[in-house]
Structure 1
Amino acid sequence: MDSQPDLRFLVTPAAAGVGLRGRLRVPGDKSISHRAIMLAAIATGETRIEGFLEGADALATLRAFRRLGVAITGPDAGLVLVQGVGLSGLRAPDGPLDMGNSGTSMRLLAGLLAGQSFATTLIGDESLSRRPMRRVTEPLALMGARIETNAAGTAPLHILPTAGLQGIEYRMPVASAQVKSSLLLAGLCAAGETCVTEPAPTRDHTERMLTALGYPVRRTGPRVCLTGAGSGGGQLTGGRIAVPADLSSAAFFLVGASIAAGSDLTLTGVGINPTRLGVIDILRAMGADIAVLDERLAGAEPVADLRVRAAPLKGIRIPVEQVPLAIDEFPAIFIAAACATGETVLTGAEELRVKESDRIAVMAAGLSTLGIEAEPRPDGIRIVGGSLGSGTVAAHGDHRIAMSFAIAGLRASGPIEIRDCANVETSFPGFARLAGSVGLGIEELGG
């Protein structure tokens, strides 16, 4: 889905002392929704998925598997029923599979389809077609995969049939859950054992879901391994998958309630996977008042209710080990830094340069427009907290940029207009309505 520049958000400052108040549940976790469709499709028997994110990115994955011959019912209020066809039951699609704006869909599907007996082409929108794919195609080639990209190593990806994949031992140069998951999915169809060693912890939703559906996965420290199904590694069996509320979507409200005086907000049923807690740890280090309540399990994933109240924030030097644990939440964290006392410095986050936009450059430009000192650096940013002004900023079709500057409106001196917001629907359908229900003064214009 290409972004539509005529969809804009207009945000007006909160009344003094009002803030964000109440209880809400943000949409289902995008990362888990993707994986639920993929693994249910290659399992045997029916899988019932509850809490599925009905956003454009996850729906792109769902549509792709329908075209690969998988019967899928729904989504209906988050409920999806998938009739799994097994690892060898996928069928050649009748044309290219369009992944829209979803890098997760493209990178994970590259691994899963690399071992199939038919050719597939994966395409995406203008933004996705600029994003780097060699990080998955090169290690997949070591397994015997045949994947052609354009000269820049970007989409479209032409995945060609191969005589068979071979498991490998791969040490990732950069921490990436998408690369790890792509290789593990390819490993299901490979001969022998596939092992991936991470330089730093990344989200482990794929491993958890494989285990929950009956496929053995072995982890020793930073190394995770599985044996291919054809080598006796096991099989996936359909079951029930409960998708928790997305911590990445909750992050905007964790920041918003922290910076807006008078806030007392509870976010219910949020996934608190240990590999995703960077945003909570970073905000707490800045002084945020976030309580984790009623911890429990939703299938294979831990969840909890998060209560956040307004608190004075201070700038910090963000620990580099927290970077992979909060990589998707940094645009929101940058808003917290803009409202904090003192200086916040982020390093070791080059990955932000190759997301849906260059999130370092785009956030720095927007913050500067609003009167905040923001110095972009090759691998991070330096932000000096101050008073947010009003003005017009560009989201560049990046959903997380758009929602972050919407939350900034809680502390601005006047209205903030955010342009190019259509892609918010990729991860958070109904964001403006839900944010407005707890006190954000937000209006959608155009679109």
Structure 2
Amino acid sequence: MKLVLPTEIDGQVPAPPSKSQMQRAVAIGSLSEAPLTITNPDFSDDSQSAMSVVEGLGAKVERQFGGPEANVRITPGAGLAQHTLNCGQSGLCMRLFPSIAALQDKPFTFTATGGLNTRPVGMLSDALSQLGAESHCKNGLPPLSVQGPLRGGNAVMDASVSSQPLSGLLLALPKAQADSHVEARGLESKPYVRMTMQLAAKFGVEIGHSENLDAFDIPARQQYRGGSYEVEGDWSGASFLLVAGAVAGRMAVEGLDADSLQADRAILDALRLAGANVKDGPNSTRVERGELQAFEFDLTQCPDLAPPLVVLAAYCPGTSILRGTRRLRFKESDRAAVLKEEFAHLGVRVETEENEMRIFGGAVRGGEVDSNGDHRIAMSAAVAALGSQEGVRIKNAACVSKSFPSFFERLEEARA
């Protein structure tokens, strides 16, 4: 049980590395014709799972920890392949790497732990089968078995639950035997797909697409170049730090790219709507407490912002509305339901509907929260504590290691 007491915030801290970019870079490194060196690497649990998986696919991964010299070097085809690959609790890992494994004429089984066993993968299995690979899962859930070769061709994919399986196909199909055409139905979280294509293009791979990203044409037999890549700061993790500044003082986060394709850069729009003072510079993003007010915000393209925005709304007098929340039930927890239940323990009323949340804000009493093993619930509880009356006790707070291992250290550094 971790206790976070009320405190004033006045700090300047570095952003964590983006695990979304890190895992995509790890995937590209495993596919490249030459080694890839990743600087500013992320060593969260999810990214460690990704590195372990590419080792299981036969790549060599060399990790150098510590400070500005930290890096990860991936050499494709220099290791020994395994048949069973554990993705831990990483949804991106489970949905990204089976497509890459299908490029090999070997059987692989992707397993999961914890809540990942309840997150859908059937849409990926169906698409892989359409593209020439053999793929199986039971009731649309992990474990997922796959055997190549991934030949290419035509496929129709249900992308309404997650964009992650589509990203996996887009990274793998350029190395397939034949050209491919993929239709993505109901795609949301489009910025993550744009991120995938941006990284592929950086390493020499061409992916054609329609304007609204519902169709993709992928030429076959392409090669990723390898080389080097610097991971951006993570807007998803930084969103909690920025909200901390809005509700408890001021916070500057260094290392965030204002022009990033990361979906969660939209946190700045929400903070401005809520009345926080936001200054977005080239090297530092600063948020200060202002005269907060209720706001409305659409999460369709950035569902991971729901937890920090519930915290922000809890401190905004009046009723705030978050729309586009339908997919929250497919996260590390049924995130909308957990936010409703756990914030009630803090004296904050949250109402949920199929695709909407209403937060009745003004003040946070404090109390005890169960993270339910969800890293973003744990971080939201910690930020909610900062301006509360009593502080917040967080059960299983250590789960923040899934995405932001140094979160509590950064919060402590920022205390006034």
Q: TM-score, normalised by structure 2?
A: 0.92
> 2:246 aligned with 1:270, yes or no?
no
Q: 1:118 aligns with which of 83, 106, 109?
A: 106
Give me the whole-angstrom Cα distance separating, in 2, the residues matched to 1:63 and 1:173: 26
Aligned residues of 1:20 and 1:257 also touching (Cα < 8 A): yes
CA shift, 1:173, in A, is 4.8
> 2:35 aligned with 1:46, yes or no?
yes
**Deviations 1:397-432, CA, capped at 9 Å, x for gaps:** 000000000000111101210102222111111211
> 2:198 aligned with 1:215, yes or no?
no
Counterpart mapping for 1:36-435 below 5 A: 36-77=25-66, 78-85=70-77, 92-93=81-82, 95-150=83-138, 152-162=139-149, 164-168=150-154, 170=156, 172-174=158-160, 176-190=162-176, 191-197=178-184, 199-200=187-188, 201-203=190-192, 204-223=194-213, 225-230=216-221, 234-260=222-248, 263-272=249-258, 273-276=260-263, 277-294=265-282, 304-319=283-298, 322-324=299-301, 326-435=302-411
Structure 1 residue matching 2:16: 3-state secondary structure: coil
* TM-align CA RMSD: 2.0
Aligned residues of 1:175 and 1:202 also touching (Cα < 8 A): no
Aligned residues of 1:167 and 1:228 also touching (Cα < 8 A): no
Structure 1 residue matching 2:275: 3-state secondary structure: coil
Aligned residue identity for 1:54: F
Give me the whole-angstrom Cα distance separating, in 2, the residues matched to 1:141 and 1:23: 49
| Greater mean deviation of Cα atoms: 174-183 or 110-119 | 174-183
Q: Structure 1 residues 275, 431: closer, same or farther in 2, change over 3 A?
A: closer
Aligned residue identity for 1:312: E
Q: Structure 1 residues 225, 68: closer, same or farther in 2, change over 3 A?
A: same
Give me the whole-angstrom Cα distance separating, in 2, the residues matched to 1:24 and 1:335: 20
**Deviations 1:305-357, CA, capped at 9 Å, x for gaps:** 211111122222323xx421x21121011100111121112233211011000
Structure 2 residue matching 1:183: 3-state secondary structure: helix
**Deviations 1:228-262, CA, capped at 9 Å, x for gaps:** 433xxx210111111011100100011110011xx
Give me the whole-angstrom Cα distance separating, in 1, the residues matched to 2:202 and 2:229: 8
Q: Which runs of 5+ in 1 are unaligned?
A: 1-7, 295-303, 441-447
**Deviations 1:239-293, CA, capped at 9 Å, x for gaps:** 1111011100100011110011xx2321111144245132222222222222211
| Greater mean deviation of Cα atoms: 221-230 or 206-215 | 221-230
Structure 2 residue matching 1:280: 3-state secondary structure: helix
Aligned residues of 2:250 and 2:288 also touching (Cα < 8 A): yes
Aligned residues of 1:188 and 1:226 also touching (Cα < 8 A): no
Between 1 and 2, higher relative CO (CA 8 Å, sep ≥ 6) is seen in: 1
Aligned residues of 2:131 and 2:155 also touching (Cα < 8 A): no
Aligned residues of 2:55 and 2:81 also touching (Cα < 8 A): no
Structure 2 residue matching 1:155: 3-state secondary structure: strand
Q: Which runs of 5+ in 2 are unaligned?
A: none
Aligned residues of 1:392 and 1:418 also touching (Cα < 8 A): yes
Structure 1 residue matching 2:287: 3-state secondary structure: strand
Give me the whole-angstrom Cα distance separating, in 2, the residues matched to 1:73 and 1:411: 43
Structure 2 residue matching 1:174: 3-state secondary structure: coil
What is residue 11 of structure 1 aligned with on the other side?
A: 4
CA shift, 1:177, in A, is 3.0
Give me the whole-angstrom Cα distance separating, in 2, the residues matched to 1:185 and 1:237: 13
Structure 2 residue matching 1:287: 3-state secondary structure: coil
Q: Structure 1 residues 210, 196: closer, same or farther in 2, change over 3 A?
A: farther
Give me the whole-angstrom Cα distance separating, in 1, the residues matched to 2:127 and 2:325: 22
CA shift, 1:373, in A, is 1.4
What is residue 22 of structure 2 aligned with on the other side?
A: 33
Give me the whole-angstrom Cα distance separating, in 1, the residues matched to 2:132 and 2:355: 33
Give me the whole-angstrom Cα distance separating, in 1, the residues matched to 2:252 and 2:344: 31
Q: Structure 1 residues 435, 37: closer, same or farther in 2, change over 3 A?
A: same
Give me the whole-angstrom Cα distance separating, in 1, the residues matched to 2:377 and 2:28: 30
Structure 2 residue matching 1:179: 3-state secondary structure: helix
Give me the whole-angstrom Cα distance separating, in 1, the residues matched to 2:19 and 2:390: 33
Give me the whole-angstrom Cα distance separating, in 2, the residues matched to 1:344 and 1:114: 45
